[in-house]
Amino acid sequence: MPARDTRFAHDVVWISNDVLGGFTINGKGFPATQPIVAGQGEQVLIRFMNEGLMMHPWHLHGMPMRVVAWNGYPLGSAPFTCTHWA
């Protein structure tokens, strides 16, 4: 297993699914889901994965996202910042 990247306060795996008759995040449906909480200035690495049949757009509240990889492949010198992700 690779060493934890210390640039990030949290390294989160987020698995979406819509197959079992409702939308789930990491196997849990609302209200059993939990928010990802970070302190001001902390960087969080979120690995979005979709096991479902539908595409789900994402956004953060109050800050933009920096996309650094696509389909598991690093974007190298071409990462980009956005407010919504689909």
Tokens describing residue 48: 């979005």
pLDDT tens profile 9-28 = 999 999 999 987 789 999 99
What letters, b where the CB count within 10 A reaches 16 and e where it falls short, cover 9-42?
eeeeeeebbeeeeeebeeeeeeeeeeeeeeeeee
Give the start-to-end residue ranges of the domains of the chain.
10-85
The pLDDT tens digits of the residues spanning 26-41 come to 999 989 998 888 888 8
Indicate whether this model's pTM tops 0.85. no
